[in-house]
Amino acid sequence: MRTALERHQSRRSDASSSNPTSIPYVITVDTEEEWDWGGPFPVRGGYGVSNIEQLPRFQALCDRYGASVTYFVDYAVLAARSSRRVILDLARHPNVEIGMHIHPWNTPPIQSDTVPVRDSFLHNLPYEVAREKLERTYQRFREYGLIPTSFRGGRYSCGAVGQRFLVERGFLVDASVCPFSWWPDEGAPDYRKRDIRPRRCQNPFVPEWPLWEMPLTLAFTRGPWPIWRAFYQSVERSFLRHVRLIGIIERLGLVRRVWLNFECESAANMKRLIRLLIRMPVDYICFTVHSSSLAVGPNPYARTPEAVEGIYQTIETMLRFVQETPGLRPATISQVAQQLEGATHACLGYQSAG
Q: How far is CA 166 from CA 60, 71, 99, in A?
A: 31, 17, 12
Q: How far is CA 242 from CA 86, 180, 192, in A?
A: 46, 21, 21
Per DSSP, the residues of 110-134 read P--S---GGGGSGGGS-HHHHHHHH
pLDDT of 351: 54
83: part of which helix (H) or strand (E)?
helix 81-90
Q: Is the peptide bond before 224 cis (omega within 30 degrees of 0)?
A: yes
Q: What is the crossing angle of helices 55-64 and 305-324, to 10°?
A: 20
> Phi-psi bin for 253: left (phi > 0), alpha (psi -120 to 50), beta?
left
pLDDT of 120: 98
pLDDT of 9: 46
pLDDT of 13: 43
> Which domains, from first to last, does the chain contain?
22-221+257-349 (3.20.20.370), 229-255 (no CATH)
SS3 (DSSP) at 289 = strand
pLDDT of 2: 47
Could you give phi then psi for residue 184, rounded to 5 degrees? -75, -5
Q: What is the CA radius of gyration of the chain?
A: 20
Is-contact 152 30, C-beta < 8 A? Answer: yes
Strand partners, 100: 73, 151
> What is the tally of helices (H) and strands (E) in the chain?
11, 11
Q: What is the crossing angle of helices 81-90 and 55-64, to 10°?
A: 10
Tens-digit pLDDT string for the chain (354 aa):
344 344 444 444 444 444 657 999 999 999 999 999 999 999 999 999 999 999 999 999 999 999 999 999 999 999 999 999 999 999 999 999 999 999 999 999 998 999 999 999 999 999 999 999 999 999 999 999 999 999 999 999 999 999 999 999 999 999 999 999 999 999 999 999 999 999 999 988 899 999 999 999 999 999 888 888 888 888 877 776 666 888 888 887 889 999 999 999 999 999 999 999 999 999 999 999 999 999 999 999 999 999 999 999 999 999 999 999 999 999 999 999 999 999 998 876 655 454
Tell me the whole-structure pTM to 2 decimals: 0.92
Alpha helices in 91-203, H assignment, sequence order = 127-143, 159-168
Q: How many residues are present in the chain?
A: 354
pLDDT of 250: 83
Distance of alpha carbon 32 from the chain centroid? 12
Is-contact 158 176, C-beta < 8 A? Answer: yes
CA pair distance 35, 39, nearest whole angstrom: 8
Torsion angle, alpha carbons of 167, 171, 172, 174, to 10: -80
> Phi-psi bin for 159: left (phi > 0), alpha (psi -120 to 50), beta?
left
